[in-house]
Structure 1
């Protein structure tokens, strides 16, 4: 997605105003029937990447819908309580959820959750991916993924891979590397990304996958060494860092992602209305700058393709969770 110059802002405003022209007539009618705010539940803490995307997208969505968007954080237990509120909400589009890859990880790491991660939601749009980067402390004498694999194979069980916790996306990105290469490394779970990055920089843990936005400055400063990004395409924030496939692990590809959902059974005109509003909001320079500023890659997966995306991601992540043996209760 390109950044639009200032001279085109008037055109973007017209796009936002005409969002419902792109959607079935029933969508505009159903939204116009109420001027109450739409509640957008973010099942993670304020300041998270998902929260930042919700708050960047909210104003544009509100303009396109003609209804204010109110972002509400309901954090805890991997996002389960917050998502639980979304699946139990009215089916009229008055409550939505902004979820991450954790949504399809949770069924494998928790013994039970109070909803079905596929059947109890309506996927509206997959908005962006969160590129991860494999970094090592400079004390590890490797500069490429190939050198890292050789180093690990010569010293089985001695390298530590840090993550943001058991079953986190950072953990599963590491498990995929183990699965694809057969290396023997030790997993060290942390309570969040902040402590992980601190110990990576201090050398207490030698390697880890971290979102590009959280370590780009350290990589550029040389306090961490980037070996490869997890995605199939290079990151604009670290353009000189190869993908894992380019670095010699051809089948590796791992994306954390962010998506907009509603409860199961939402009327299709309402879903289509939201999908059109999302496209309009994502096209605004403000939202685009905020999202790209987080180091994210913008996607455009709407309600037709989103269900299959969720199903595929659930299958992939559950396979990795089983391989890792991760559990949280």
Structure 2
């Protein structure tokens, strides 16, 4: 093919791609949840999927659970998917942790951040059957011997929250790593371990049922979702803040038109009164941030994670 013909072909392809992007979306969209069904990421993803047709011209979000490797399988799949707007990722801090602690084929630059919709403070919990009912009881037990802590997996955000607290407070934890958040809950609620760390949104409904007891919220102020539960700082006079986030990303390299359409549509969905009400009724608070703000938040969190990484070398 001559240079002139090649140039003509490339122009035609670009025009075709632009037209295709302008028509977005023309079919249903895969929403990859890189965790097993039953956890908070899966649940909130299904709330998004329920609302999607109204904001995506009747097209559906098809939730696809791809658990394994602490979210590596699903994240790898999305990072390698076509950058056409038809494969989205339910995004959590694991996208940062995995790239820093595991041999993976992606990093933050492999994804296009689109929206953050939930920031959830970390809480320390025990079983509703546990004799440990106060933060002071928990801290004293952890200082005098090994306290067992259930996690949803090694190097997950909840594991790292426990590591950070142990370092700051000179505590001794024995970690019981599970394959999912659902399995972590089973360990804690069954009183098979002494405590666990999880997001407030995951715990709050189980507290009202008597299955869990929250000892402290790891934030600078009390949460609107649980105004009667004191923070770690209130009870000890020492600051300790940690939390999880939930957002949405796509493979890197999205056409500008598709990225703009996705950000606009997702922004409308995630800030709609109906979605906010459903999230609140389920124990989750919507804290929307657009694509630029979400990208800045990811980069900042990655920098913070670098400071915590050395703690993983001695954890088990």
Shorter chain as denominator, the TM-score bin is: 0.7 to 0.9
| Higher-helix-fraction structure | 2
Return the alpha-carbon distance in structure 1 between the equivalents of residues 80 and 212 of structure 2: 44
The equivalences for 1:242-281 within 5 A come to 242-248=230-236, 250-281=238-269
Contact 1:35 1:67 in 2 (8 A): no
Task: Please give the TM-score of this superposition, normalised by the length of structure 1.
Answer: 0.78
**Residues 183 and 327 of structure 1, relative CA distance in 2, 3 Å threshold:** closer
**Residues 250 and 37 of structure 1, relative CA distance in 2, 3 Å threshold:** same
Gaps of 5+ in 2: 1-17
2:180 counterpart of 1:192: yes
Gaps of 5+ in 1: 1-26
Deviation at residue 218 of structure 1 after TM alignment: 4.7
2:151 counterpart of 1:163: yes
Task: Spell out, residue by residue over 1:3-47, the C-alpha distance to the aligned partner (whole angstroms, 9 max, x if none).
Answer: xxxxxxxxxxxxxxxxxxxxxxxx998342552222222222233
Deviation at residue 104 of structure 1 after TM alignment: 1.0
Among candidates 85, 102, 114, match of residue 93 of structure 1: 85
Deviation at residue 169 of structure 1 after TM alignment: 2.2
Deviation at residue 202 of structure 1 after TM alignment: 4.3
Among candidates 10, 26, 36, match of residue 45 of structure 1: 36
Task: Spell out, residue by residue over 1:120-150, the C-alpha distance to the aligned partner (whole angstroms, 9 max, x if none).
Answer: 111111111233321235654552x345334
Q: What's the secondary structure of 2:233's corresponding residue?
A: coil
Number of aligned residue pairs: 297
Q: Specify the alignment match of 1:298 in structure 2.
A: 286
Range moving further from structure 2, 118-127 or 210-219: 210-219
Among candidates 132, 138, 141, match of residue 148 of structure 1: 138
Deviation at residue 240 of structure 1 after TM alignment: 0.7
2:101 counterpart of 1:127: no
Contact 2:52 2:61 in 1 (8 A): no
**Residues 31 and 249 of structure 1, relative CA distance in 2, 3 Å threshold:** farther
Deviation at residue 233 of structure 1 after TM alignment: 4.1
The equivalences for 1:47-66 within 5 A come to 47-66=38-57
Task: Please give the TM-score of this superposition, normalised by the length of structure 2.
Answer: 0.81
Higher relative contact order (CA 8 A, sep 6+): 1
Q: What's the secondary structure of 2:196's corresponding residue?
A: strand
Deviation at residue 59 of structure 1 after TM alignment: 4.4
Deviation at residue 119 of structure 1 after TM alignment: 1.3
Q: Specify the alignment match of 1:21 in structure 2.
A: none
